[in-house]
Structure 1
Amino acid sequence: MLLGGGALDLGRGPRVALAIVVLAGFVVLVTPEPSVLRASVMAGLVLIAFARGRPSGGLPMLGTAVVVLLVGDPWMARSYGFTLSVLATGGLLLLAGPLARRMASVLPLWLAAVVAVPLAAQLACQPVLLLLDPSLSVFGIVANLLAAPAAPIATVVGLASCLLALASPPLATVLATLAWLPAAWIGAVARFFSSLPLARLPWIGGGAGALLLAALTVLVLVAVIGPLSQRWRRRLLILCAVAVTCVLVATGGAQVAGLLTRPGNWQVAACDIGQGDAMVVRSGGQVALIDTGADPGLLTACLETLAIGRIDLLILTHYDLDHVGGAEAVVGLVDRVLVGPPGEPDDERLAQRFADHGALVHSASRGDNGSFGELSYTILWPPARLGDFEPGNDASVVAHFTPAADCADGCLSSVFLGDLGETAQTRLLAVNRSLGRVDLVKVSHHGSADQSSALYQRLGATVGLIGVGAGNDYGHPTPQLLDMLAASGTAVTRTDQDGLILVAPAGTDGGLTVWRETTGVGADD
């Protein structure tokens, strides 16, 4: 806009005003996500400085943008998108130049500059990325080098397509097709490098892992670009190399031990995604996912651990955040979706989003059934007409999986109760009189006290799975619920203490093997 206005001999003020208007329109078009707001506010500050004829240093503009946004919305500091955007920009401003000059001693200057940009961003962001996925990307810098040139092309051509959509839909379609090419290239690069062997190396998770990596990153940067003697440079690099090797060996060894002890014939998994539900059922080469938890990153990590790349059946029991917040992680990866009754327009939009990406979406109600691998499933709840129940917890979709007639020995039966309360559970029992014993039950509402002991007695499950977050404020699972399970002879497994949980058949005598991530050992029940 500035260049175009200059070509029209517009003054500095009108050119800046035009650029700010277009910038605001672009933010509305792509939606004001935290990272978009960071970039747009920073760009606006640069434009204002340009209009006043003053210099606009990168770091002062970044710092001012951060202050302005956090004063307006302090909770934005909790957004990963905002934090990563700030860190990546800061890394480019602070580290790209010194890294390029250091690498220019062994690489051509142009190549050193090209490599320094993604390297600086990766170094700045990696400690925070560990909070989303406790692993290090081996090929991330190379992938960014190959993908980065396509990003501005896709952005500009895509914007032009949107602007022309009303005036000339055919021309907009042509531009959208052109914008697809660089976007498809970026996707292809990501898929290729993520599929390579050892694409990610395990690291310590949580805050401890992030702080350790941040400290090691600082030491490496001091050694590489700091004013140190060659001798101290070498010492620091050796120290960091030894530390990284020790961490990789320790974490990698733990993962290998887990893989060796993990039952390969598991049929049901409870993902450790904090306070929420994300349960997986596997049968006959097909995969069902019941709910997605609240965090797409945690769900993605669990599915990658289980080597799941495609979902045949997704059941969204109801639309609370702790059950559908992670849905974005599986959009485009699902064939069929069963959803509970919507309560708000956002609920319907989520279901439509799956439909737009090729999934067959169906509103589930009592009596719906189908086949799934070597199992059959039946929906026990909610009724087609909710009556006294409102959309939400008590209208959760309850799925009952049973071995099909042609199932080989060892198929597990299971019931997933969503977040039903005691009243809804009692009504479910009344309208499903043939419901009998099952191998395992997904305990309702993360182990709240609002439960029907009669239901758990009727189910008589061998194992109860509880999706619950460590240190949650609700006191889940409650002593009352744990007493109910004990009275019904149901062994308790809970993700806050056990981490990822896998349940597999143990032979042909009806026993079960339960594998817990925290111990890495399967136990028969």
Structure 2
Amino acid sequence: MPAAAAWAAAWLVVAAPDAGVPQWVAPTWLWVLAAALLLAALLGHGYGYGIRGRASRLGSVAATASIAAVAAALVATSAGIALSARDASPLARAADARSTVAVVIELTAAPRAMVSVSPAWSATQAVEDDDRTGEASGPVRSSMRIEGRIVRVDGAAVAPVPVSGIVDAVPATLQLGAVLCFRARASPEPSVEASAFRLRAQSDVEVAAPPAWLGWSAGLRTGFADAATRLGGDGGALVPGLAIGDTSAVGEPLDAAMKASSLSHLTAVSGANCAIVTAAAFALAAALGLRRGIRVIIALLALGAFVVLVTPESSVVRAAVMAVVVLIAVAAGRPGGGLAALALAVVVLLVVDPWYARDYGFALSVCATAGLLVLAGPLSRALARVMPVPFAVMLGVPLAAQLACQPVLVLLDPAIAVYGVPANLLAAPAAPLGTVAGLIGCLLLPVLPSLGYAAMQLAWLPAQWIAVVANTLAALPGGRLPWLPDAPGALLLAVCTALALRLVLGRPLGRRARTSMVALLVIAVAVQLGVVVGGQVITRISRPGDWEVAACDVGQGDAVLLRSGEATALIDAGPDPAVLTRCLDLLGVERIDLLVLTHWDADHVGGVAAVEGMVTTVLHGPLDGERSSRALDPLLAEGAEATAVTAGAHGALGRTQWRILWPVPDTPPGNDASVVLEVAAPSYRGVFLGDLGEDAQRRMLTDSGLGRVDLVKVAHHGSADQRDALYERLGASVGLIGVGADNGYGHPTDRLLELLERTRTMPLRTDLSGTIVLSPDGNGMRVWSERGVGGAGAMHG
């Protein structure tokens, strides 16, 4: 109860400023409630002292409720303090003034590297030099996605608040704990985001090395990842993930297969990994004859080193805190672990960082642990009645975790992985072997390279088996059972799961009660399937067959289809192959004559696996090393031809003429190198802006000779980084915005929506309307949307 109350309080308080509610309202009332409940508990116990009656029982209930209220109040107060620090930060004033400031940032997570070609190196040279291998021979600079906390602004020490951003021209060895100094422009993030501000570097970046107690881990991770590439195959890509949670080598097809078969959790470091490390360290200390307190200290040091090695992601921190609680209980000679340790870990972590309440990884980690603690034993005993005990345990453990996590997974993807339990049953025995052997290899590699690599080769075998299981089951038909989306779907699934568990694990029921529960369960599943499948059928029947433009609902990303006669073009592929496939099926698209990849961010190219084997020609901007190679190589292997384009390139799609407006030659990769496409069709004119930022929009507006259009694909999902004069020049009737619901970036921003209103451009948003289709209608075009939201209207040429 205290953990649930703390979670609810954190969830609500961090969202309060976005809803216009002062952040101190909830903490104040929670402390008042806690005090009242504590007083009621004291009075109840005092009145009931020596008396068996209702007052004593009410006192016990009030005492329990007061503990929950105190936990909620502590978390709410922590959130309120953090939100106040954000409001008072000099970055908030700099963001309002749109000015640059000198910042000093300490990195709190391992940076994610992006390889970028230098401005002096042309895209044509890139095509010739790297020969589609992703290894550029020209001068290269490193770009990094960073997360950290601000410690100084314009030379003055400030209250630390979390920030994120992208910095260029920094060492490839940049690591957790490093200190960065540069001038930056800040923009505020919504209050529900863990990062308070997003920074854009406006100067060179100076880097100070991290302290030695953090700096040792980066070289170990990098060397391990490099060695794993020599193992080859999908197994080589999975070994770093199993051992230390490094999934950078996992390609899009394998990643999609792991997700489809519910095996992606195996490459996310969690409680199992922490348990292995602490147990091994504790056992080694015991073998040396050390006292219990010393054993605990050694186990804690080993655990801390492991967290630094794998980087402190939310699931790792949760598992580590729970292990600390258990170890402290062991040191004190008191029983520890179980749900009490999990609840304490949740409350402590939410006090330290209330934004964990909105972290899906944290939620899945807690749910999986709770499922193992509560359900694994009863499920294994129930299964042991019909199968041998070892097999019952092997099936009961993954089944418990899957059942506990599934309501949360439905929030991410409204479907149930039908083969999830069989996949985990087949892969579960291999995962610990791969984890232990891989971790041993990682630790031995710097001191005994031969033995370390031998251990990695041993880890390759179970890793390859896991990859085979994932790829095989993901390829089977009927792997996804559609389910109601969002909170109603999660709640319905939780209820259905509870009913099924009651039937299987609860006390024997009477015949009538059992029949009623089974009937209720069947009806609930049948009704939701009818709603989902029936809705899909109605959508397919109602959507226009003569569409010419379609903005696919792919979440926070872009995927726009153009059709002219029998020819079809796709501009970007969204973040996920599954959701793009759904849109292609909805619209009956089986061939892509022209694929335009505007730039290499995952929300624009992550779904290319959905069109492998369907594409004839690919247009793209400047290559970006491994990032562009991951997207292009599978398409080229299936026979597509790729061409790097710059402003001035032109061609035809059926009766539609297209022209490239941007980028100009020698533009370095990134948002501002987005391929901008202008199309002139018989029934409309349109411009598709990719993720082009304000500065690049200004330069394009000057150089391209743009005129008025009917349709604009709004840049960067409706961010505030827009050039007003561009939209005023275009004067479009409709603005398509590819954006995900509750995306966390505040897209589309109020500034962008006000700009569209001022230019009399009707916004059509995929987060509200789902997939949006435009069809010719006399002198204009009519609008159809999947959810019937966002209005219908016409664009007039």
Q: TM-score range by the shorter chain?
A: 0.7 to 0.9
Letter in 2 for 1:354: R
Say if 1:268 and 1:279, in contact at 8 Å, map to a contact too: no
Cα distance in 1 between the residues matched to 2:284 and 2:404:
35
Q: Which string of whole-angstrom CA distances, capped at 9 and with x for unpartnered residues, describes residues 49-91 of structure 1?
A: 2333332232122112112211111111111111011011101
**Counterpart among 729, 753, 756 of residue 481 in structure 1:** 756
**Counterpart among 582, 586, 595 of residue 305 in structure 1:** 582
Compared CA separation, residues 357 and 432, structure 1 to 2 (3 A): closer
Partner of 2:362: 82
Higher mean C-alpha deviation, range 172-181 or range 375-384 = 375-384
Cα distance in 2 between the residues matched to 1:161 and 1:513:
61
Partner of 2:674: 397
Cα distance in 2 between the residues matched to 1:83 and 1:34:
9
Letter in 2 for 1:481: L
Shift of 1:244: 0.8
Question: Are residues 1:258 and 2:539 paired?
Answer: yes
Partner of 1:240: 521
Query: Which structure 2 segments of 5+ residues have no match?
Result: 1-280, 613-617, 634-641
Shift of 1:212: 1.8
Compared CA separation, residues 234 and 354, structure 1 to 2 (3 A): same
Question: Are residues 1:517 and 2:782 paired?
Answer: no
Say if 2:581 and 2:610, in contact at 8 Å, map to a contact too: no
Higher mean C-alpha deviation, range 228-237 or range 28-37 = 228-237
Cα distance in 2 between the residues matched to 1:97 and 1:372:
64
Shift of 1:202: 1.2
Compared CA separation, residues 237 and 475, structure 1 to 2 (3 A): same
Structure 1 counterpart SS, 2:749: coil
Question: Are residues 1:43 and 2:327 paired?
Answer: no
Structure 2 counterpart SS, 1:187: helix
Partner of 1:354: 627
**Counterpart among 432, 455, 461 of residue 729 in structure 2:** 455
Structure 1 counterpart SS, 2:375: helix
Query: Which structure 1 segments of 5+ residues have no match?
Result: 318-323, 342-350, 404-408
Compared CA separation, residues 6 and 497, structure 1 to 2 (3 A): closer
Question: Are residues 1:131 and 2:405 paired?
Answer: no
Compared CA separation, residues 64 and 136, structure 1 to 2 (3 A): same
Shift of 1:369: 5.2
Question: Are residues 1:56 and 2:336 paired?
Answer: yes
Q: Which structure 2 residues correspond to residues 198-347 of structure 1 after superposition, within 5 A?
A: 198-231=478-511, 232-260=513-541, 269-272=550-553, 276-281=556-561, 290=572, 299=576, 301-306=578-583, 314-316=597-599, 324=601, 326=603, 329=606
Cα distance in 2 between the residues matched to 1:80 and 1:128:
8
Q: How many residues are aligned here?
A: 483
Partner of 1:345: none
Letter in 2 for 1:367: A
Say if 1:263 and 1:522, in contact at 8 Å, map to a contact too: no
Structure 2 counterpart SS, 1:136: strand
**Counterpart among 708, 729, 738 of residue 467 in structure 1:** 738
Cα distance in 2 between the residues matched to 1:250 and 1:69:
39
Say if 2:410 and 2:485, in contact at 8 Å, map to a contact too: yes
Shift of 1:179: 2.3
Structure 1 counterpart SS, 2:345: helix
Cα distance in 2 between the residues matched to 1:269 and 1:194:
28
Cα distance in 2 between the residues matched to 1:159 and 1:285:
51
Shift of 1:120: 1.4
Structure 1 counterpart SS, 2:335: coil
Q: Which string of whole-angstrom CA distances, capped at 9 and with x for unpartnered residues, describes residues 226-252 of structure 1?
A: 235232233212211111111112211
Partner of 2:715: 444
Partner of 2:399: 119
Cα distance in 2 between the residues matched to 1:356 and 1:172:
30
Structure 1 counterpart SS, 2:507: coil
Letter in 1 for 2:330: F
Cα distance in 1 between the residues matched to 2:509 and 2:328:
43
Compared CA separation, residues 90 and 495, structure 1 to 2 (3 A): same
Letter in 1 for 2:787: T
Partner of 1:25: 305
Shift of 1:383: 5.0
Shift of 1:444: 3.5
Compared CA separation, residues 192 and 26, structure 1 to 2 (3 A): same
Shift of 1:130: 0.9
Cα distance in 1 between the residues matched to 2:309 and 2:625:
20
Structure 2 counterpart SS, 1:55: coil
Compared CA separation, residues 382 and 209, structure 1 to 2 (3 A): same
**Counterpart among 688, 694, 709 of residue 416 in structure 1:** 688
RMSD after superposition: 4.5
Compared CA separation, residues 132 and 285, structure 1 to 2 (3 A): farther
Letter in 2 for 1:258: T
Structure 1 counterpart SS, 2:447: coil
Letter in 1 for 2:505: I
Partner of 2:121: none
Q: Which string of whole-angstrom CA distances, capped at 9 and with x for unpartnered residues, describes residues 120-173 of structure 1?
A: 112211111111011122111111111111211221122122212322444434
Say if 2:659 and 2:677, in contact at 8 Å, map to a contact too: yes
Say if 2:322 and 2:345, in contact at 8 Å, map to a contact too: yes
Partner of 1:321: none
Cα distance in 1 between the residues matched to 2:305 and 2:610:
32
Say if 2:440 and 2:455, in contact at 8 Å, map to a contact too: yes
Larger Rg: 2
Say if 2:394 and 2:428, in contact at 8 Å, map to a contact too: no
Question: Are residues 1:429 and 2:692 paired?
Answer: no
Compared CA separation, residues 376 and 66, structure 1 to 2 (3 A): farther
Cα distance in 2 between the residues matched to 1:79 and 1:411:
45
Cα distance in 1 between the residues matched to 2:619 and 2:598:
6
Shift of 1:271: 3.7
Question: Are residues 1:180 and 2:452 paired?
Answer: no
Letter in 2 for 1:442: K
Partner of 2:154: none
Question: Are residues 1:494 and 2:765 paired?
Answer: yes
Say if 2:418 and 2:478, in contact at 8 Å, map to a contact too: yes
| TM-score after normalising by structure 2 | 0.52
Cα distance in 1 between the residues matched to 2:477 and 2:403:
22
Say if 1:278 and 1:290, in contact at 8 Å, map to a contact too: yes
Say if 2:426 and 2:469, in contact at 8 Å, map to a contact too: yes
